[in-house]
Chain A
Amino acid sequence: MIDRILDLFFGPNPEFRQIVAVTLRMSLFSTLVSTLLGVPLGVLIGANEFRAKPLVSRLVDTLMGIPPVVGGLVVFLLLSRSGPLGSLKLLYTVTAMVIAQVLLITPIITGMASNIVSIRAPSIRETCHGLGIPPGRRLWYTILECRVPFISIVLAGFGRAIAEVGAVQMVGGNIQFKTRTMTTAIMMQSNMGYFDLAVALGFVLLIISFTINSLVHLIQDRERRD
């Protein structure tokens, strides 16, 4: 098995390395976009009191639980050549996969961020008041204050992105050298009965996940010590 994994990584066939590159590119971009959308939105919902807040929170919670294939189906129907955005010719591209992922991950990041901020909002508001921070800069200050839990939230989003299979298969199409990811490759290999290759790919997925998690935890620990 170890031979198999080493061969996948360093062997003469570039296909596996290419699959890993597509997987990382998709997961990182979709986490980045979801974070840029979800964190500010989550802070705004969590830090403020407004009449529709319970409704908005419930909506976000509902979207957090959206089954990936449903998200995939929606993006597929939108991007299909005969769909409303068909002229963009985005179906079966990495961009299409990122769009589907952003749809699935942004609510998760928004929901988790707003929960954290809701809990800390009163004390942050007091500090802001005490330090004389103008209301316009409170969003940024809140993000800074909550950065340690936020890192975990972003990681959860990344974990979801890299592990996704249903939506990615639908909008990416599992095209060799273009949109084949680790998970769709694993599914294809196990459908063909090549379980050993599927298991090797699964191991590699875990190794990548572990490495990224370790790196981020390193940063998080340093932040906590400050």
Chain B
Amino acid sequence: MFKRSFILIVLALALLLSACATPTPAAAPPAAPAAPANPVLRMSTTTSVNDSGLMAYLQPVFEADTGYKLEITSAGSGAAIEKGRTGDADILLVHSKAAEEEFTGEGFDEVRIPFMTNYFIVVGPEADPAGVKTAKTAAEAFKKIADASAPFITRGDKSGTNTKELAIWKAAGVDPEGQAWYTNIGAGMGQALTVASEQQAYTLSDKATFLAAKTDLALLLETADDMLNTYSVIAVGPKRFADTNAEGAKAFIDWLATDKARDMIAKFGVEQYGQALFYNMDK
């Protein structure tokens, strides 16, 4: 009897494994151009371009146009850039200027290419107890939040948004660290918005993630001069890692500059949210 059960288990396992062994690809790439020598391009992105759905929207078109296969991992910009340092990404798509310049300044002939922007926004409870709506700049808004001791959620994860937030506090002349109303959650943008919504707190967000996430927070301040959010691509240099996929990274950067890609970026989100989420920069 044991033998028969054993055979049953082995058969069931074999069936399951064979069923799992060949996962169906999402869609067969339609007659791709001459396949590149190294078709896998490892991209490390910030969470906002991935969670907003921008990469999922661009990826199939880029893959069909060039024959490359994108493998995207996303994390806060700090962690995303770190993957370039450890050799676990061929190209970075991030939004944290100071951290990017630190990376490209490490002597491997890497170039930071800013290509699109949008605005950081201040979001918070609909009632707006701190009166952020009347502020002209982000620094002024943050000063009002501090003066009102209104609850504020910080991501505290060295992401581009977190870095920007700390710079705004500095410009506002406020040191929020250790204040009772300042909560550090050490998490991504989506989760920060969820926590802010639950606690009716303020937070700094990128616009794309805010529109894509479902919360009951209100958009209180945007398009102030000190809230421009610039996204860049950086190809990890062959001087840093000899086996990095430099051709693939170049192919992606070239593709981003095509009218087709720029048109796609400009249209992204317009249908769903009634407004663009990202804006192309002048070539």
A147 proximal to B (CB < 8 A): yes
B16 proximal to A (CB < 8 A): yes
B1 proximal to A (CB < 8 A): yes
User: Taking CB as reference atom, which chain B residue is nearest A222?
Assistant: B5
User: Taking CB as reference atom, which chain A residue is nearest B74?
Assistant: A174
A22 proximal to B (CB < 8 A): yes
Interface residue ranges of A105-126 to B (CB < 8 Å): none
Choose the segment among A41-49, A66-74, A79-87, A128-136 that binds chain B (4+ C-beta atoms closer than 8 Å).
A79-87
CB pair A81–B86 under 8 Å, yes or no, is yes
User: Taking CB as reference atom, which chain A residue is nearest B17?
Assistant: A28
User: Taking CB as reference atom, which chain A residue is nearest B53?
Assistant: A192
B184 proximal to A (CB < 8 A): no
A193 proximal to B (CB < 8 A): yes
Choose the segment among A12-20, A55-63, A159-167 that binds chain B (4+ C-beta atoms closer than 8 Å).
A12-20
- B76-90 interface bits toward A, Cβ cutoff 8 Å, 1 = contact, 0 = none: 000000000111100
CB pair B12–A147 under 8 Å, yes or no, is no
CB pair B21–A25 under 8 Å, yes or no, is yes
CB pair B17–A191 under 8 Å, yes or no, is no
Nearest first, the 6 A-B pairs at minimum CB distance are A81-B87, A191-B190, A173-B73, A25-B20, A193-B213, A193-B214
- Of the residues B23, B73, B191, B212, contact of A22 by C-beta under 8 Å: B23
CB pair B17–A193 under 8 Å, yes or no, is no
CB pair A144–B241 under 8 Å, yes or no, is no
- Of the residues A83, A176, A191, contact of B191 by C-beta under 8 Å: A191
CB pair A80–B191 under 8 Å, yes or no, is no
Give the size of the chain B interface in residues (CB under 8 angstroms): 39
- A1-38 interface bits toward B, Cβ cutoff 8 Å, 1 = contact, 0 = none: 00000000000001101100110110011001000000
- B186-213 interface bits toward A, Cβ cutoff 8 Å, 1 = contact, 0 = none: 0110110110000000000000010011
Q: Using a CB–CB distance below 8 Å, which chain B residues touch chain A?
A: 1-2, 5, 8-9, 12-13, 16-17, 19-21, 23-26, 42, 51, 56, 71-74, 85-88, 187-188, 190-191, 193-194, 209, 212-215, 241
State A173–B193 Cα separation when bound (angstroms): 22
CB pair B193–A28 under 8 Å, yes or no, is no
- Of the residues B16, B56, B71, contact of A28 by C-beta under 8 Å: B16
- Of the residues B2, B72, B188, contact of A175 by C-beta under 8 Å: B72
Interface residue ranges of A183-226 to B (CB < 8 Å): 188, 190-194, 215, 219, 222-223, 226
State A29–B8 Cα separation when bound (angstroms): 17
Whether A226 contacts B2 in the complex (CB less than 8 A), given A28-B13, A174-B73, comes out as yes
